[in-house]
A = this chain, B = another copy of it.
Amino acid sequence: MRYELYYWPSIQGRGEFVRLALEEAAADYVDVVRENGGMSAMTRLMEDPNVARPPFAPPFLKAGRLLIGQTANILLFLGSGHRLAPKDEAGRLWTNQLQLTLADLVVETHDTHHPIAAGLYYEDQKPAARRRAEDFRRNRIPKFLGYFERVLERNPRGDRWLVGARLTYADLSLFQVVEGLSYAFPRAMQRQAKRYPKVVALHDRVASRPRIKAYLASERRISFNEEGIFRRYRELDG
């Protein structure tokens, strides 16, 4: 079965967490909206009154007859089908829990440049963005990355991966978050990264996985840019 991923075609955004899982799993998938006619296919699906279980927003994944929305939910689904999460209930829940914590961090990252409204331009909310970003750099990045450092320290199976002794989709997502924060806040991350050596080592370990490495070097990997979640605005980096 070929998966169909529906997501905005010019940003990494939330879709990237799904792309990374599909790539690591070597799953057969098409990134629909990057194909000819893909955008209207996505719009059609979102507006089709015959879709009984409509997604609220991209990304969503078509898997046979299933149409699955919400990033963490898509990963929960892919995790069990592609050995990207443990099989036991405790391990599956723990992986999902870590993913949801990363999702919280992603929302907060987005809101550093859009603290007032996603529908307004960044330029229309710059003073608020500057204040929010300062709090984010000082308090939120350390709180979240410190947490994941602790999770790695405490993993009874060692500090290579977040969950047990094998890579899960939560590792892929932590890689992406570190990559994104390093793009958006290079100075803050440069200063802070040394406090989280296990998180940084995990990032590097994911980046050197053969399939991830090939993906990152391919044109399938969209570059970071100032339309996505992780944006580089010098004035937000302190």
Which A residues lie at the B interface, using CB under 8 A? 49, 51-56, 65-66, 68-70, 72-73, 76-77, 89-90, 93-94, 96-97, 100-101, 104, 107, 111, 115-117, 119-120, 125, 128, 131-132, 135, 139, 144, 147, 150-151, 154-156
**Nearest 3 CB-CB pairs, A to B?**
A117-B135, A70-B100, A128-B128
Asked if B52 and A66 make an inter-chain contact with CB atoms under 8 angstroms apart, the answer reads no
Known: A116-B115, A116-B128, A128-B115. A54 touches B135 (CB 8 A): no
Closest to A102 in B: B56
Main secondary structure of the interface of A (DSSP, over half): helix
> What separation, in Å, do the CA atoms of A65 and B66 have in the docked complex?
33
Known: A96-B76, A107-B107, A135-B120. A54 touches B154 (CB 8 A): yes
Q: So how many copies of this chain end up in the complex?
A: 2
> What separation, in Å, do the CA atoms of A120 and B117 have in the docked complex?
19
Q: Nearest-CB distance from A161 to chain B (Å)?
A: 13
Asked if A70 and B96 make an inter-chain contact with CB atoms under 8 angstroms apart, the answer reads yes
> What separation, in Å, do the CA atoms of A53 and B155 have in the docked complex?
8
> What separation, in Å, do the CA atoms of A55 and B100 have in the docked complex?
11
Asked if B54 and A150 make an inter-chain contact with CB atoms under 8 angstroms apart, the answer reads yes
> What separation, in Å, do the CA atoms of A17 and B120 have in the docked complex?
31
Q: Which residues of B contact A147 (CB under 8 A)?
A: 54, 56
Asked if B101 and A119 make an inter-chain contact with CB atoms under 8 angstroms apart, the answer reads no
Known: A54-B151, A120-B135, A151-B54. A100 touches B72 (CB 8 A): yes
Q: Which residues of B contact A116 (CB under 8 A)?
A: 115, 128, 131-132, 135
